[in-house]
Structure 1
Amino acid sequence: MDLLIVSAASLMAGMVDSIVGGGGLILIPALFATFPAATPATLFGTNKSASVWGTSIATAQFSRRVRMRWPVLLPATGAALIGSFIGAWVVTLIDPGFLRRLLPFILLAVLLYTVMKKDLGRTHAPRHSQRKETALACLIGLVIGWYDGFFGPGTGSFFIFLFVRLLGYDFLNASASAKLLNVATNVSAIALFAMKGHVWWHIGLTMAVANVVGSLIGTRLALKHGAGFVRGVFIVVVGALILKTGCDAFLA
């Protein structure tokens, strides 16, 4: 029964994550509720071991239908991998607790900006030369990759927002690009958790199958309904992230 519960949660998380990220809002609470005696690191590691497969499949699906800017995204993916490693290393030295109270306000600013800018992310119009776009994408990858390794909540949403705001992508292309970078940050995290023995592979692999199914459903919805649909889901997920991180920071 426990495996059935977390697999169902993994399916839903894969669907949400494939569209705009934020699948951890569903799967991590489900894991903590189902396995209350487990250490947090083990549950985080097991979550990553499942979600990385759905994110990888979503990336592959998007790349077949969306024109990925590979000369820009591949260097940015490398930067995200490096940033995530550095963030994971820094978290062994510094307590990330100071971000807990700050994060809801950062997410609120992202949400308000997106809602107020009605046309934000509706049209795909990269605004920079390839060299400048690559430099900015690498900076995004390095900074948000570091954040994912150090703290994590809202990583996919931050990737999407910055690709839209700084590079001129629409929400569909930004979501596709964010998936690629998110794979890199997830692989980095899994490597760290696995080295420390914090992954339940037998549970993670079962959840991975469900996560892939959810990812396929979510990707098809995003491709079918386009940037406007992704923008709407982004607003809902960021709103949910604000509530979750706000409760964690001020009510826990």
Structure 2
Amino acid sequence: MLEVGIETLLLLMAAGFVAGFIDAVAGGGGLITVPVLLLAGANPVTALATNKIQGLFGAATAARAYAKGGHVKLRDQAGSALIAFVASILGALLITILPTGWIRMILPVLLIGIALFFAFKKGLGDQDRARRLGPATFALTMVPLCGAYDGLLGPGAGSFYMLAFVSLAGYGILKATAHTKLLNLASNAGALCAFALVATPWWITGLCMGVAQIAGAQAGATLAQTKGAGLIKPLLVLTSVALAIKLIWDML
């Protein structure tokens, strides 16, 4: 049985398409889907849980598209994806005992910092740079940190994955984007597992939005592979700033 009316569902699916496109390029699609779910009548926890359902489809589609384009080998990311999955579950479970208020306060500052980094850092393009962390160290440090954050709060997780891949793994913009998607998929899945135990997601609505996410993510990943850093960087900066503004607005 549908949780919302047909007209509302169509609006949510349209939001899912746009979010899938943005997520496939730069992340931040939740900026669109979560507010629309709230407007549709979902309480905050249901909105977050439903957002994880539909986000799985977009992340999986984008990961497949980038792998097909030769920008990432998903099999090589299996271990990191498992770490992100487990870390996300732990992060979601910790939300009941950790004080998340201070994280919400500093999050806008971090997101604006990410926007400034990608906007003004010289030499950021699609070419790889010198890496500061080896693959194993990266997988055991940055992946669980980003995964746990995705489960604990979620907004901006894609931006944090991107920053880690570019600044520490030395990846070019397009390669970093490609490597972000499977980890985002895994941490979304982990968070959803936790949410399913403590919340009531709109499963049918989430699945319908997921269908629209597939189309949007495919379009976004295709365009990103064509335009590369020229498209990804400005959209990443825009979504990071927009998310920071929204978080500040919510606090006020």
Q: Does TM, normalized by the shorter one, top 0.5?
A: yes
Residue aligning to 2:237: 235
The percent identity for this pair of structures is 35
Deviations 1:5-47 (A, max 9, x none): 1111111001001111100000000111121xx3221111111
Residue in structure 2 matched with residue 29 of structure 1 by the alignment: 35
72-81 or 187-196, larger mean C-alpha shift: 72-81
1:73 is aligned with what amino acid?
Q
Unaligned runs of 5+ in 1: none
Given that 2:74 and 2:182 are in contact with CA atoms closer than 8 Å, whether structure 1 keeps it comes out as no
Deviations 1:180-220 (A, max 9, x none): 10011011111112233521111111111111111111011
Preserved CA contact (<8 Å) 1:164 1:171? yes
Structure 1 residue 220 corresponds to structure 2 residue 226: no
**Partners of 1:76 and 1:140 within 8 A in 2:** no
Asked if 1:110 corresponds to 2:136, the answer is no
Structure 1 match to 2:188 = 186
Is 1:46 the counterpart of 2:54? The answer is no
> Which residue of structure 2 aligns with residue 66 of structure 1?
70
The answer to whether the Cα contact below 8 Å between 1:54 and 1:211 also exists between their aligned partners in 2 is yes
Contact kept, 8 Å, 1:53 with 1:212, in 2: the verdict is yes
Query: Counterpart of 1:127?
Result: 131
CA apart distance, 1:95 = 3.3
Find 1:175's aligned residue among 174, 177, 181. 177
2:21 corresponds, among 1, 15, 23, to 15
2:172 and 2:30 map into 1 onto residues whose CA distance is 24
Q: Tell me if structure 2 keeps the 8 A contact 1:80–1:138.
A: no
CA–CA distance in structure 2, aligned partners of residues 57 and 67 of structure 1: 14
Q: What amino acid sits opposite 1:93 in the alignment?
A: I
TM-score, normalisation: structure 1:
0.92
Superposition CA RMSD, Å: 1.7
Instruction: Specify the code of the residue in structure 2 equivalent to 1:204.
Output: G
- CA distance in 2: counterparts of 1:228 and 1:76, whole angstroms: 28
User: 2:21, 2:220 within 8 Å by CA — same for their partners in 1?
Assistant: yes
Q: Structure 1 stretch 82-91 or stretch 174-183: which is displaced more?
A: 82-91
More displaced 10-residue stretch of structure 1: 197-206 or 114-123: 114-123
Once the two structures are superposed, residues 212-244 of structure 1 have per-residue CA deviations (whole angstroms, 9 ceiling, x without a partner) of 111111011101111222112111111211211
The 1:196–1:202 alpha-carbon spacing in structure 2 relative to 1, beyond 3 Å, is same
**Alignment correspondent of 2:140:** 138
Residue identity in the other structure for 1:43: A
- Tell me the distance in 2 between the aligned counterparts of 1:7 and 1:138: 36
CA deviations 1:85-113 (Å, max 9, x no partner) are 11111112123121111111111222222
SS at match of 2:250: helix
| Residue pair 2:63, 2:182 contacting (<8 A) in 1 also | yes
Question: Could you tell me which amino acid in structure 1 is paired with residue 180 of structure 2?
Answer: A
Question: After the TM superposition, which of the residue ranges 52-61 and 80-89 deviates more from structure 2?
Answer: 80-89
Cα displacement (A) at 1:118: 2.6
Matches within 5 A, 1:73-92: 73-92=77-96
Distance 1:137 1:164 in 2: 14
Return 5+ residue gaps in structure 2 as ranges. Answer: 1-6
Aligned-partner residue type, residue 32 of structure 1: L
